[in-house]
Amino acid sequence: MNNKYTLLLAICSVLAFQSVEAGNPDRQGEAGANQLLINPWARSAGLHSLNTSMVTGTDAMYMNVAGLARIDRMQLSVGHTRYLEGADLSLNALSYAQRMGSGAFGISLVSFDLGDFITTTEDTPEGTGATFSPSYFNLGVSYAHVFSNKVSVGATAKFVNESISNVGARAFALDAGVQYVTGEKDNFKFGVSLRNVGSRMVYRGEGLSKALPNPGPTFVYPNTYYERGASYELPSQLNIGASYDFLLDRTNRVTVLGNFTSNAFSRDQVGVGAEYGMNKTFALRLGYKVEFDAQPGSTEATLDSGISAGFSASLPLRKGTNNRLSLDYAYRQTNVYQGIHNLGVRLDM
């Protein structure tokens, strides 16, 4: 292996293992913008986001942007997530990726639909008759580059927004990742990704102001006072993963994988998974993730644990070409409501 690849992997490994102790349950709940930890893409959600080492294409812009460089030409993806089925919460995602020489450029938009809320005030605590809908979204721009098909690196710049009509919080964040492929048939993969490292968020706006009377020596006049919101961090996390492909024949493949997640503001997680693939036509996925020192179903445990499953079906748009239309589905078990459902459509041209 080239010396520059060795140096790159060594740097990433040092950074990774320096962050292994980042999981801190004492800081749980101190971060915000946790919608950044909800996977909107069905292919990687079917593996419970454990595929840091092998994720490719538009899914990589969420999990490990280094995999973005491993697309063939162009990929367009649309995703819809029913988050906690029965709670009327959903995510919608759109992403585009384009191969550019030895690298790839991508852009993604993820929006969190929280539904409608009744507008209340101090004078009308039962509601004014109006409703409002919060705007939660993040926009990401990514670039990844691959070196001799062995090492790929990438980075994403994200804009994060949480707002209603008169109050909002915004932040900028960075993701970075690396993937390494080796083995006689390129069947061993290793990946590291660092996600959601950015500025603090704080709510500001006219909604935090209030007009109060200010008595003077001769008459009373109103003054506008602004409340100062407390700032909060983004939910940073580190992922370290590996996978191995068992090539059964020219058509069939079974991949086993494992992943460790170190969360800066909650407990760490570890998981294993498997994927069966038949060429580019069909794939089945199964994953299981556990959270350290938290009993499943307890109020201290997150929803990002337990069993996941999914599949993909892909058909060529025209015989003899690589243009394909694919359908992806994933399900993640939760202890409340009826689980998390992901549905996605991909177009490869």
Q: Which residues of 192-204 are buried (b: 16+ CB within 10 A; e: fewer)?
A: bbbbbbbeebebb
SS3 sequence of the chain: CCHHHHHHHHHHHHHHHHCHHHCCHHHCCCECCHHHHCCCCHHHHCCCCCCCCCCCHHHHHHHCHHHHHHCCCEEEEEEEEEECCCCCEEEEEEEEEEEECCEEEEEEEEEEECCCEECCCCCCCCCCCCEECCEEEEEEEEEEEEECCCEEEEEEEEEEEEECCCCEEEEEEEEEEEEEEECCCCCEEEEEEEEEEECCECCECHHHEEEEEEECCCCEEEEEEECCCCCEECCCEEEEEEEEEEECCCCEEEEEEEEEEEECCCCCEEEEEEEEEECCCEEEEEEEEEECCCCCCCCCCCCCCEEEEEEEEEEECCCCCCCEEEEEEEEECCCCCCCEEEEEEEEEC
> Does the domain made of 3-348 have the CATH classification 3.40.250.10?
no
Residue 292 has pLDDT above 80, yes or no: yes
Angle at CA of residue 88, ends 82 and 90, nearest 5°: 35
Residue 322 has pLDDT above 70, yes or no: yes
pLDDT tens readout for residues 65-103: 999 999 999 999 999 999 999 888 999 999 999 999 999
Residue 20 has pLDDT above 70, yes or no: no
pLDDT tens readout for residues 333-348: 988 888 999 999 999 9
Amino acid in the structure at residue 174: L
Per-residue pLDDT at 1: 45
In terms of pLDDT, which residue wins out, 165 or 10?
Answer: 165
Residue 228 has pLDDT above 50, yes or no: yes
Per-residue pLDDT at 215: 73
- Which of 135-139, 190-194, 195-199, 226-230 has the weakest average pLDDT? 226-230
Q: What percent of the chain has pLDDT over 90?
A: 65
pLDDT band at 152; cut points 50, 70, 90: very high
If you average pLDDT over residues 201-222, what whole number do you get?
A: 83
Residue 127 has pLDDT above 60, yes or no: yes
- Which of 206-210, 214-218, 262-266 has the weakest average pLDDT? 214-218
Residue 260 has pLDDT above 90, yes or no: yes
pLDDT band at 123; cut points 50, 70, 90: confident
CB atoms within 10 A of CB 113: 18
Q: Which residues of 306-320 are buried (b: 16+ CB within 10 A; e: fewer)?
A: bebbbbbebeeeeee
The reported pTM is 0.88
Residue 290 has pLDDT above 80, yes or no: yes
Q: Mean pLDDT across the chain, nearest whole number? A: 88
